[in-house]
Amino acid sequence: MIKVLFFAQIRDQLGLSELQLPSAENNDLTTLLENLKLRDNNWLSVLSKGSLMVAVNQTMQADNVVLCSGDEVAFFPPVTGG
C-alpha cells in the first residue's frame, strides 16, 4: 500500500488528511495523481491547481517518480513558514 497525506488547504478542501492506496494500481506519481482526480469534481479541481506541491518519502518532487509499496506521498499548497 501507498500512504497518501494531505496538508493545510488541500486537506481542508478534500476533507481528508490521509488515505492508503494499493501500490499495484498506483505504480508512479503521475498515475496516482490521475487516479485521485477521478474520485469526483472536487478532487479534480483541488488536485489540478498549478501551485500543488508534492513530496515522496518526505522529499519534494518536481517530476514523475516510480512508487513502491510502503512509500509515503504528500500533497500540499506552497509553504508559508518563517
Residues that bind other proteins (CB under 8 A): 5, 7-9, 12, 51, 55, 58-60, 74, 76-82
Report the candidate in 62, 37, 60, 59 with the shortest Cα–Cα distance to residue 48.
37
Give just the sign of the alpha carbon dihedral 17, 21, 25, 26: positive
CA distance 15 to 27: 25
C-beta closer to other proteins: residue 20 or 51? 51
C-beta closer to other proteins: residue 20 or 58? 58
CB of 38 to other proteins, least distance (A): 25
C-beta closer to other proteins: residue 5 or 21? 5
